Chain A
Amino acid sequence: MQERQIETRRGLKCRVLEAGQGAPLVFFHGAGGLFKEEPLLERLAAHCRVYAPEWPGYGVEGGEEKLEDMLDFALHGWDVVDALGLDESVRLAGHSMGGMIAAEMACIANRSLEKLALVAPAGLWLDAHPIPDMFSMLPFELVGALFAEPKNGEKFLTGGIDFSNPQALQNFLVTNARRLGTAGKILFPIPNRRLSKRLYRLVAPTLIVWGSADKLIPLPYAERWQKLVPHAQLSVIDGGAHMVPYEQPEPVAAELVRFLG
Chain B
Amino acid sequence: MKFTWFNLMPWPHLPENFRETHRSVWVDISSKLYDPAEGNRVYHEYMDQLEYADSLGFDGIGVNEHHQNAYGLMPSPNIIAAGLARRTSRAAIAVIGNSIALYNPPIRVAEEFAMLDVISGGRLVAGFPVGTPMDTNFCYGQIPALTRDKYYEAHELIMKAWREPEPFAFDGKYNQLRYVNCWPRPIQKPHPPIYIPGGGSIETWDFCVENDYNYSYLSYAGYKAGKALLDGYWERVAALGKDESPYRAAFAQVVCVADTDADAEKLYAEHVLYFYNRCLHVYLGFADPPGYRTIKTIQSGKLNQFRAENQRLFTSLTWKELVDGGYVIAGSPETVRERMEHMIKSLRLGSLFLLFQIGNMPNDKVKHSTKLFAERVMPQLRDLWPEWKNDDRFWCKPLETRVRPEETFAARNGR
Whether a CB of chain B sits under 8 angstroms from the CB of A182 is: yes
- Could you tell me the distance between the alpha carbons of A221 and B298 in the complex, rounded to whole angstroms? 36
State which residues 167-216 of A face B: CB under 8 Å. 169-170, 173-174, 176-185, 188-190
- B145 A185 Cβ-Cβ under 8 A: yes
Whether a CB of chain A sits under 8 angstroms from the CB of B283 is: yes
Whether a CB of chain A sits under 8 angstroms from the CB of B15 is: no
- Could you tell me the distance between the alpha carbons of A190 and B140 in the complex, rounded to whole angstroms? 12
Complex contacts, B304 vs chain A, CB 8 Å = 169-170, 173
- A182 B291 Cβ-Cβ under 8 A: yes
- A184 B138 Cβ-Cβ under 8 A: no
Q: Which residue of B lies closest to A189 (CB)?
A: B141
Whether a CB of chain B sits under 8 angstroms from the CB of A1 is: no
Residue in B286, B295, B301 whose CB lies within 8 Å of A178 = B295
Q: Pick the most buried of B173, B285, B292, B293: most chain A CB atoms within 10 A of its CB.
A: B285
- B298 A136 Cβ-Cβ under 8 A: no
Count B-side interface residues using an 8 Å CB cutoff.
22
- B145 A181 Cβ-Cβ under 8 A: yes
Complex contacts, A190 vs chain B, CB 8 Å = 141
- Could you tell me the distance between the alpha carbons of A183 and B143 in the complex, rounded to whole angstroms? 10
Map CB proximity to A onto B266-299 as digits: 1 under 8 Å, 0 otherwise: 0000000000000000011110011111010011
Whether a CB of chain B sits under 8 angstroms from the CB of A60 is: no
Map CB proximity to B onto A60-92 as digits: 1 under 8 Å, 0 otherwise: 000000001000000000000000000000000
Whether a CB of chain B sits under 8 angstroms from the CB of A259 is: no
Whether a CB of chain B sits under 8 angstroms from the CB of A238 is: no
- Could you tell me the distance between the alpha carbons of A174 and B304 in the complex, rounded to whole angstroms? 11
- B138 A136 Cβ-Cβ under 8 A: yes
Q: Pick the most buried of A68, A136, A137, A181: most chain B CB atoms within 10 A of its CB.
A: A136
- B144 A184 Cβ-Cβ under 8 A: yes
Whether a CB of chain A sits under 8 angstroms from the CB of B146 is: yes
- B143 A184 Cβ-Cβ under 8 A: yes
Residue in B143, B286, B295 whose CB lies within 8 Å of A136 = B286
Q: How far is the CB of A241 from chain B (nearest CB, A)?
A: 20
- Could you tell me the distance between the alpha carbons of A184 and B288 in the complex, rounded to whole angstroms? 13
Complex contacts, B283 vs chain A, CB 8 Å = 136
- Could you tell me the distance between the alpha carbons of A190 and B301 in the complex, rounded to whole angstroms? 30
- A177 B285 Cβ-Cβ under 8 A: no
Complex contacts, B290 vs chain A, CB 8 Å = 135, 176-181, 183-184
Complex contacts, B351 vs chain A, CB 8 Å = none
- B291 A184 Cβ-Cβ under 8 A: yes
- B137 A138 Cβ-Cβ under 8 A: no
- B295 A177 Cβ-Cβ under 8 A: yes
Q: Pick the most buried of B145, B285, B301: most chain A CB atoms within 10 A of its CB.
A: B145
Interface size class of chain A, counting residues whose CB lies under 8 Å from the partner chain: 20 to 34
- A189 B138 Cβ-Cβ under 8 A: yes
- Could you tell me the distance between the alpha carbons of A36 and B186 in the complex, rounded to whole angstroms? 58
Map CB proximity to A onto B244-286 as digits: 1 under 8 Å, 0 otherwise: 0000000000000000000000000000000000000001111
- A138 B284 Cβ-Cβ under 8 A: yes
Whether a CB of chain B sits under 8 angstroms from the CB of A149 is: no
Q: How far is the CB of A117 from chain B (nearest CB, A)?
A: 28
- B284 A135 Cβ-Cβ under 8 A: no
Whether a CB of chain B sits under 8 angstroms from the CB of A162 is: no
Q: How far is the CB of B311 from chain A (nearest CB, A)?
A: 12
- B289 A184 Cβ-Cβ under 8 A: yes
Q: How far is the CB of B267 from chain A (nearest CB, A)?
A: 38
Instruction: From known contacts A173-B304, A181-B144, infer whether A188 and B299 are also in contact, taking CB-CB under 8 Å.
Output: no
Complex contacts, B138 vs chain A, CB 8 Å = 136, 189
Whether a CB of chain B sits under 8 angstroms from the CB of A141 is: yes
State which residues 119-172 of B face A: CB under 8 Å. 137-138, 141, 143-146
Instruction: From known contacts A138-B284, A177-B290, A177-B291, infer whether A185 and B298 are also in contact, taking CB-CB under 8 Å.
Output: no
Knowing that A138-B284, A174-B298 touch, tell me 9 more A-B residue pairs with CB under 8 angstroms. Answer: A166-B301, A173-B298, A177-B290, A177-B295, A178-B290, A180-B290, A180-B291, A184-B291, A189-B138
Name 14 interchain pairs, CB-CB below 8 A, sorted by A.
A135-B137, A135-B290, A136-B138, A136-B285, A136-B286, A177-B293, A177-B295, A181-B145, A184-B291, A185-B291, A188-B137, A188-B144, A188-B289, A188-B291
> What is B's interface to A at a CB cutoff of 8 Å?
137-138, 141, 143-146, 173, 283-286, 289-293, 295, 298-299, 301, 304
> What is A's interface to B at a CB cutoff of 8 Å?
68, 135-138, 141, 166, 169-170, 173-174, 176-185, 188-190
